[in-house]
Structure 1
Amino acid sequence: MKMSAPSLLPLFRSQLQGDLLALVLLHPDRSWTLTDLARELTASHTAVLREADRLVGAEILSEERVGRTRVITARTDTVVYRPLCDLLLVTYGPMPRLTALLSDLGGIDEAYIYGSWAARHSGVPGPIPADIDVLVIGRPDPDELFDLAERASRELHRDVNVHRVTPEAWASPSNEPFLTSVRERPLVRLQVHEENGD
């Protein structure tokens, strides 16, 4: 199946390539197995393997063998590392950065990016998003959530707008125009909890 260029940054060959680069390069202190990457990116092991092979071959990522397991890390010693990270941060960066920030905040059941960034990530063509819209479901501390949005705005170099709703409001169908609009458009789920629900 031929993959089209991603709408977020059509310089990359696929959405998966952009997501993979952002995940690994924006977490240079972490190492990833191919299974970790496939799970985190909700992609097939084969697709992740192909992209990782290309990026290791281009010396953008590095790999190490631990037994039979391939471990992938960022190459931080190349001339393209810093400019590529800057570019990834303002395009693909909202997913890994917001996931990391929101994971440290208590009281969150679910979180999504919605609006124009989610639409571009989902393949809907259009201009580069000027801001990032985040829906937080739960009861986090409002002051901590505000501080988080301010920090994310500084890191991502664009406004991050956070809208909080209760789990009950999100779970029940309502006539509230905002929630109806959010549900009808692309949503990108942020994995703020581990797979086991912790």
Structure 2
Amino acid sequence: MEVDFNQPISHVIRAARRQRQLSQYSLARELATISGRPTITRDLVARWERGHQIPRLGTRQWLSVVLQVPQERLDIAAAAARRRSRLGHAVVTENAPASPGPARRAQGTPALLPVFRSRVQAGILAATLLNPDRSFSLTELAEHAGSSLASVDKENKLLEKAGILTSRREGTIRLMRAAGDGGPLVGPLTELMRLTYGVPQVIGEEFGAVPGVVRIVLGGVWADRFAGIPGPAPESVELLLAAPPGRKPDERALRTAAKRTEERLKRPVHFAVATLEPDLDTLQIPRQRPGHPVVEVAPIRPRVAPQIAGVALTGNEVVTQLLRTGQLEMAGGPAANSQPFLQLASKHIASAEHLTDASPDSAFVLLAQAAQLIGSALLAQQGLRASAAAPDHVVGTAVTAQFGHQFSQVEALRQRARELQTPTSRDSHVIPAEAKTYLGTVRSLLAAAAEVMPKLGLFG
């Protein structure tokens, strides 16, 4: 069995739980049932996953059964966690707080971004604003923020009242997400979170997409601030990338990841590549000061692995300009998955086909939305998306510049659909023949996008 001796048990439990698609509550319930120990609660599971507590040997035996992980793996990970605790390392995954100190420390002013009154608030904003297409349960936000459900719920209500977050219910579960129409403050606030608390996510997305990178460790001034050590804002990002013996990551892919990371974080990135070793101290982070904390970053693998870029895109300069002006932004991880866009576009097209005679206006609106989704899919395949503050035409502008005149229909359909929203306009109605014509147009866009996508790689 091949084992990473450095991975702490908090990471092993979290990864195995998510692989089995269990919530922290579900895992606690299964453990309590199978072990006959009602004292195993969701809060205890949360403490394990945040690194605040290491499960005892007897509990690890039950964890092995429920999570379907060999007990030897859990024992090795528990030893790694104890070793890190002695060395004083801060170990996190995604945007959770770095240092396992007293609970009140998570509530205090964050050294990384002291304009917020608490790390709980900052953690919630980082999770929701940096993942605008995803909804979070209170439990998931509590994991991100490293706090109790009560504290997270209080902050959520304040942010929802301010129009930054929105909520909905699925049964008894309340889900939160970034408000799509959160006003002019959402764009700047999202960028602020990306440059501070979003550093692990951006790094995990960009370097996690490089084959051969199996471990990422972040150090330097940023790690100091994230761990709660006060001081000046970090001017650069220092990384150590670890790969298995004999599997060195591609240099070009690493440079592309570094360039994209620098573009997204607006600061230099210094990285070194090393072979995995059983002792964290043998791995040297560039510019890392002895005795200072480090942060373990979870590689975020793209759901659809991007192909190596093999085509020359005529719109590179246009896209670069849109990135420079903030109308487009780089995205990674699940946000760089084009398939959900294409699947929803296909559903819109199928629904529009049934409405062309009975309700051609409705059919046309669905087709216009499908065209926008196709354009967004082409951008996502390149690790791009429209920013929160971007004008409505940016998707059509980008894909037309890159893929030719056929894709000018993305913007043309959007403008025509906007006219339909003004019922008093003389152009506010679509006849069935027009709807049927555009049904074929959007189908051809979908086919063209499917043809070009295998040739696309990450933009950068």
**TM-score under structure 1 length normalisation:** 0.84
AA of the residue aligned to 1:36: E
Match of 2:205 among 100, 118, 129: 100
* Residues 193, 93 of structure 1: alpha-carbon distance in 2 compared, 3 angstrom cutoff: closer
SS at 1:184 equivalent: coil
1:21 aligns with: 125
Match of 1:109 among 211, 214, 218: 214
Q: Please show how residues 85-164 of structure 1 align to structure 2 within 5 Å.
A: 85-138=190-243, 139-164=248-273
Question: Which structure carries more helix by proportion?
Answer: 2
* Residues 34, 183 of structure 1: alpha-carbon distance in 2 compared, 3 angstrom cutoff: farther
AA of the residue aligned to 2:234: P
Match of 1:165 among 259, 274, 279: 274
Deviation at 1:49, TM superposition (A): 2.8
Question: Deviations along 1:113-168, whole A, 9 cap, x unmatched?
Answer: 21000101111111111111122121432321121011100111111112221102
Unaligned stretches of 5+ residues in structure 2: 1-103, 302-460
CA distance in 2, matches of 1:101, 1:119: 22
1:192 aligns with: 299
AA of the residue aligned to 1:91: T
Residues matched between the structures, number: 192
**TM-score under structure 2 length normalisation:** 0.38
RMSD: 2.6
Deviation at 1:171, TM superposition (A): 2.8
SS at 2:193 equivalent: helix
- Tell me whether 60-69 or 185-194 shows the greater mean CA deviation: 185-194
CA distance in 1, matches of 2:212, 2:146: 25
CA distance in 2, matches of 1:122, 1:29: 28
Query: Is residue 23–residue 96 contact of structure 1 (8 Å, CA) maintained in 2?
Result: no
CA distance in 1, matches of 2:146, 2:211: 25
SS at 1:105 equivalent: coil
* Residues 191, 177 of structure 1: alpha-carbon distance in 2 compared, 3 angstrom cutoff: closer
CA distance in 2, matches of 1:29, 1:17: 19
Unaligned stretches of 5+ residues in structure 1: none
- Tell me whether 61-70 or 14-23 shows the greater mean CA deviation: 14-23
Question: Which structure carries more strand by proportion?
Answer: 1
* Residues 177, 38 of structure 1: alpha-carbon distance in 2 compared, 3 angstrom cutoff: closer
SS at 2:229 equivalent: coil
Identity over aligned residues, as a percent?
32
Where relative contact order (Cα < 8 A, 6+ residues apart) is larger, the structure is: 1
Query: Is residue 238–residue 285 contact of structure 2 (8 Å, CA) maintained in 1?
Result: no
